[in-house]
Amino acid sequence: MKDYGKAFRVDGKVALISGGARGLGAEMAMALAQQGASVLVTDILAKEGKATVKAIKDAGGTAEFMALDVVDEAQWQKTIASCIKRFGGLDILVNNAGIERTALVTECTVEEFRRIQDINVTGVFLGCKHAVRAMRPGGKSGRGGSIINLSSVAGLVGVTGLAAYNASKGAVRLLTKSVALECAQLKTGIRANSIHPGVVWTDMGRDLLTHFAAAGLGPDVASVEAAFLAAHPIGHFGSPDDIASAVLFLASDASKWITGSELTVDGGYTAA
């Protein structure tokens, strides 16, 4: 009989997480490490990233921190090479780093729009590009793997005040599918999938509500929170472990026949 418990673990695998210093990224790092992976936590926030690594090590896991600005291609190359040197390979890439900006289309500046696309889309593209080079046959790791890109429900449906963010997360959705098809057809042994969270109760999630109110999209933060809560039929916002569990599934061999998919973790937000 198949050992399903083992299928959901990631023993012996090596994971790299962008934006792993805090919030969702930190929870993903801890989940992967707890289930057997060696984790390279990367972020521009060194203090918080090192604290996350310490928490993982204190719990008996294996992790290191490395600074990474996801819009810098040379840094991606250096980081992936360092990951392989430190841990002996690369099996899991989680492209988690991203930013949000609330603004009506008429009020969003070109500079703000471009910055969101640069971090949320170009950063993911660069991660995919260099992870595939390392993971594919003949690469420095060369044993295939799983790429997990964080999109959003805002990559599936439009949201007033989030045009720039919508554009970026929609791009991540289709970029993921393209990478998945390319890797499958070229027999690389690499899978690529996207995760689409609803509102998760992190600093970024709470900031979203504040920004909506500040942009005049609700009378106050309490009203905005109530409206967003009502949009999640399950009756509450998500928590970081909800998204970390989805990452763990897509990183593990339990999802070995899944590629090019959209895993929506949104409390029913997009079901209506």
pLDDT of residue 214: 93
Identity of residue 230 = A
* Ranges in the chain, pLDDT < 70: none
Quote the pLDDT of residue 37.
98
Tens digit of each residue's pLDDT (9 = 90 or more) over 125-171: 999 999 999 999 999 999 999 999 999 999 999 999 999 999 999 99
H/E element holding 147?
strand 145-150
What pLDDT does residue 47 have? 98
pLDDT of residue 6: 93
Nearest-Å Rg of the Cα atoms of the chain is: 18
- 264, with CB counted inside 10 A (0-12, 13-18, 19+), is buried
pTM to 2 decimal places: 0.97
Q: Which neighbouring-strand residues pair with 194? A: 149, 262
Nearest to 263 by CA among 103, 175, 181, 151: 151
Q: What is the pLDDT of residue 52?
A: 98
Set 165, 212, 228, 237: catalytic member: 165
In Å, how far are 14, 82, 120, 123 from 73, measured between CA atoms? 21, 14, 14, 8
> Is 165 an active-site residue?
yes
Query: Going by DSSP bridges, is the β-strand pair 14-17/62-67 parallel, antiparallel, or unpaired?
Result: unpaired
The set of residues, in sequence order, having a beta carbon less than 8 Å from that of 17 and lying 6+ positions away, is 25, 28, 29, 32, 39, 40, 41, 42, 94, 96
Q: What is the fold of 4-198+238-263? A: Rossmann fold (3.40.50)
Q: What gap in Å lies between CA 178 and CA 121, rounded to an integer?
A: 14
What does the pLDDT read at residue 91? 98
Structural domain boundaries in the chain = 4-198+238-263
- Residues 6 or more apart in contact with residue 167 via CB below 8 angstroms: 113, 116, 117
Q: What is the pLDDT of residues 170-185, one digit of tens each?
A: 999 999 999 999 999 9
Q: Give the model's pLDDT for residue 144.
A: 98
